[in-house]
Chain A
């Protein structure tokens, strides 16, 4: 199982020469991320709090899979508020990659990651541009997005891996990827660009040493499970979610009210269908938030029964 950690320099050089990804815009289908890289990226994303942070991933190619072996932080913040945040860190990136080679870390840079705190894993317009540039000059290159806030509330890592299509390429109709809530103030940015890229399947791997260390950690992990309160840690995020839901409800209500005034028989079926789909999304969002809240409450009640109800 540790063979993935051996780097075949000649093999990688050959792939670089053949450039199979040029033949097909959809060439890369999946990503494998090492436990180490995943942990480093999530910890870094969490450390940024509500500020978007950014880093670089190192790894290699295996067929149509990009393998991410490690990740490192870039001294850049606020990726969604600058045209091309990565440009600020080029010098650092180059120096880091070269220094790595001198110490025997031969993996090349294979992508970048950044965080979307609280608003889901997708590529914004700025991200699409950055990724298009990278895929033009630094192939093979992958874009990974992590949402640290939803990671805490959902209890699993919210992460997405994407590749952009070449400009002007018309993708075949995609099967809808897993549903995720997009906040109202981001929906436009999401909608305009969501056809310019596609998600890759993500799987993880770990070394035998990782397994051993994680097993040891697992022995202590039960303490975290019993002493955590998702309700407490995520108040701001949930409040933001409910506010976003209220805004969307008002939005749809106005539309329905508007279409209602010309009577339903004038509303073309696809328009009616579209409003229903928006309402059904809102319903889905509200039940998702509520289920997470109820889970949190259940754990509080269990903790209360376990640790408070014992009278001496």
Chain B
């Protein structure tokens, strides 16, 4: 049962994989870098 628990845990990784997530993540990344640049 422990092994089953561990394998189900591993199957949850990677936590999220979708084009939409990549877009949102990179948008947020760029926004923050832009803010840093503007602050500089």
Contacts and interface: CB of A to CB of B under 8 A. Distances in A.
A290 B36 CA distance: 6
Interface in B3-40: 10-11, 13-17, 25, 28-29, 32-33, 35-36, 38-39
Contacts of A294: 32, 36
A293 B35 contact: yes
Contacts, number: 44
B32 A231 contact: yes
Interface stretch (A84-92, A265-273, A304-312): A304-312
A232 B17 CA distance: 19
Main SS class of interface, B: helix
Contact of B14 (A287, A290, A297, A311): A311
Ranked 9 nearest A-B pairs via Cβ: A307-B15, A290-B39, A297-B32, A308-B14, A286-B39, A310-B13, A293-B32, A293-B35, A290-B36
The range of chain B's interface size is 10 to 19
A296 interface: yes
21 contacts: A231-B28, A231-B32, A232-B28, A286-B38, A293-B35, A294-B32, A296-B32, A297-B32, A300-B25, A300-B28, A303-B15, A304-B25, A307-B14, A308-B14, A308-B15, A308-B16, A308-B17, A310-B13, A310-B14, A312-B10, A312-B14
Contacts of B29: 297, 300-301
